[in-house]
Amino acid sequence: EVLLQQSGAELVRPGSSVKISCKASGYTFTDYYMHWVKQRPEQGLVWIGRINPANGNTVYAEKFKSKATLTADKSSNTAYMQLSSLTSEDTATYFCTRIDYSYFDYWGQGVMVTVSS
Amino acid sequence: DIVMTQGALPNPVPSGESASITCQSSKSLLHSNGKTYLNWYLQRPGQSPQLLIYWMSTRASGVSDRFSGSGSGTDFTLKISSVEAEDVGVYYCQQFLEYPLTFGSGTKLEIK
């Protein structure tokens, strides 16, 4: 069974950074790209970027190029996203999601990141 | 960027009736390989999105045949025949033709 298990909710200070994780199981981690999606409260889905776990190659949406950093650890089958210089605009739920050719077939449960002083 | 524009539903929809959700893209999603890179997802309240339809009209594994997708290169429709309580949530269309990947703003379905 394919599972994407994400880390727990985070409460962080403005200006700080946070690193959230997505542990994959039930498939060969390096065979599928991992994508990340943002959802602000009561709002829609926004694509952040993706990583190829096999070689670390990344692609980002323009607006997230200086905000998000995607990495992957093949030894632990875990993808990570670090968000920097956090503001209230970054308060959101962040999903990791696996791509199968050209659609997202499995999603993590989401991580709620709250930016507040 | 490709802009995805979704229509609204005349909520609430009576149980057992059909519902159609529209989605329009600012660029044709028809690839030279003949596939149309338009996907549909449902996000139930408090849950992660789940895949319903990919390549415009192919139902994902385990998805009820009450769901069907159709369209052209830029205009798409998700039809739900005989809506049920479990269909409540927000439906999103998404293009996978090119980066950045983009989603529609979502269409909420409520059942009466």
Q: Which of A45, A103, A108 sits opposite B96 (nearest CB)?
A: A103
Cβ–Cβ gap A44/B106 under 8 Å: yes
For residue B93, the model assigns a pLDDT of: 98
CA distances (Å), origin A77, targets A84, B25, B43, B91: 23, 35, 26, 30
Q: pLDDT class for A113, splitting at 50, 70, 90?
A: very high
For residue A52, the model assigns a pLDDT of: 97
Please check whether residue A46 touches B, CB under 8 A.
yes
Cβ–Cβ gap B105/A44 under 8 Å: yes
The residue of chain A nearest to residue B58, with distances taken between CA atoms, is: A103
The residue of chain A nearest to residue B99, with distances taken between CA atoms, is: A61
For residue A36, the model assigns a pLDDT of: 98
Q: Is the pLDDT of residue B106 over 90?
A: yes
What value does the mean pLDDT take over residues A101-117? Answer: 96
A16-42 pLDDT, tens digit each = 999 999 999 999 999 999 999 999 999
Sheet containing strand B4-6, edge to edge, reads B4-6, B19-25, B75-80, B67-71
Select the residue from B44, B48, B53 to test the A interface by mutation, using most A Cβ atoms within 10 A. B48
d(CA B25, CA B95): 8
What value does the mean pLDDT take over residues A71-91? Answer: 98
Q: What are phi and psi of B2, to 5 degrees?
A: -80, 125
Q: Is the pLDDT of residue B11 over 90?
A: no
For residue A71, the model assigns a pLDDT of: 98
The residue of chain A nearest to residue B101, with distances taken between CA atoms, is: A47
d(CA A66, CA A78): 22
Q: Is the pLDDT of residue B32 over 90?
A: yes
